[in-house]
């Protein structure tokens, strides 16, 4: 099943719009073995409340070769649990380099089902990622309006809207016309920290899944996110990382409870 269909199916079956982020910070653990065990335990404990999981590649890359080994374990465990995997790598480059990134992160043993990508070298840089995602039943999340305050330096003055129009154009190339039930392979990152803009971007990209980072530690709340969703509660994934993985230090039960609470808060505001 293609990524967009798989994550939407899980959203509807389990009634969850929560994307659990995994950001294993080496400084929080005694050693690599401790980090590995805790990361996998959090993944398993929160999986009943998650529509998908989002490993942040930077934290795995910082561990060197053991980090790549752990990433493969995380991806394998997530698939055993039925969780689609979004790799948060924000990759973007030109020509053959973009093609290599697309091969590396959308195919192979440590590939994700979807990948976050950066369009700010130009829209042509998206082509290898779009082609790889479509060929492998995967998905992309293009940075449109990110959750950090400094995004306004480059994403203001209509730039984010231009990127959103390109996302919609790419999705118009794919089959399927039912905007509320059929999502295309190219999604968009729109920060949950911009609730006043969610309705605009939802309208600009009707067939895109929206990834909404910033829930919890960055200050966004579930109560403000309803405009990102279509009627029935599909079309977007609200992401929380630190607020789940480190909800109360390294207490896995607290992580489980945080995921359950966020799932319930999101469900309570669905259109």
Q: Just list the catalytic residues.
A: 90
Distance CA 193, CA 224 (A): 9
SS3 category, 175: coil
Residue 258: alpha-carbon gap to chain centroid? 18
- List Cβ neighbours of 6 (8 Å cut-off, separation of 6 or more): 84, 113
Neighbouring C-beta atoms of residue 253, cutoff 10 Å: 10
Residue 19 and residue 211 in contact, taking contact as beta carbons nearer than 8 Å: yes
Distance CA 237, CA 203 (A): 16
Task: Indicate the pairing of strand 18-22 with strand 52-55.
Answer: parallel
- List Cβ neighbours of 34 (8 Å cut-off, separation of 6 or more): none
Distance CA 195, CA 210 (A): 13
- List Cβ neighbours of 41 (8 Å cut-off, separation of 6 or more): 252
SS3 category, 55: strand
């Amino acid at each position: 099943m293609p990524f967009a269909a798989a994550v939407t199916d899980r959203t509807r079956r389990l009634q969850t719009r929560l994307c659990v982020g995994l950001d294993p910070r080496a400084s929080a653990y005694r050693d690599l073995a401790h980090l590995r065990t805790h990361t996998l335990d959090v993944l398993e404990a929160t999986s009943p409340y998650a529509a998908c999981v989002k490993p942040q590649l930077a934290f795995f890359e910082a561990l060197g070769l053991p980090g790549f080994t752990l990433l493969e374990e995380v991806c394998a465990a997530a698939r055993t649990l039925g969780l689609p995997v979004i790799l948060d790598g924000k990759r973007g480059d030109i020509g053959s380099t973009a093609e290599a990134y697309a091969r590396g992160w959308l195919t192979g043993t440590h590939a994700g089902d979807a990948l976050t990508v950066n369009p700010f070298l130009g829209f042509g840089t998206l082509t290898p990622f779009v082609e790889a995602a479509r060929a492998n039943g995967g998905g992309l999340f293009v940075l449109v309006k990110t959750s950090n305050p400094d995004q306004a330096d480059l994403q203001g003055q209509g730039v984010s809207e231009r990127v959103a129009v390109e996302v919609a154009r790419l999705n118009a190339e794919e089959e399927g016309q039912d905007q509320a039930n059929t999502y295309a392979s190219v999604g968009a990152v729109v920060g949950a920290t911009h609730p006043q803009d969610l309705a605009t971007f939802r309208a600009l990209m009707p067939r895109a899944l929206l990834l909404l980072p910033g829930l919890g530690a960055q200050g966004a709340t579930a109560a403000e996110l309803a405009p990102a969703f279509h009627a029935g509660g599909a079309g977007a994934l609200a992401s929380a990382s630190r607020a789940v993985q480190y909800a109360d230090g390294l207490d896995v039960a607290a992580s489980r409870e945080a995921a359950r609470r966020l799932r319930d808060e999101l469900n309570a505001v669905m259109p």
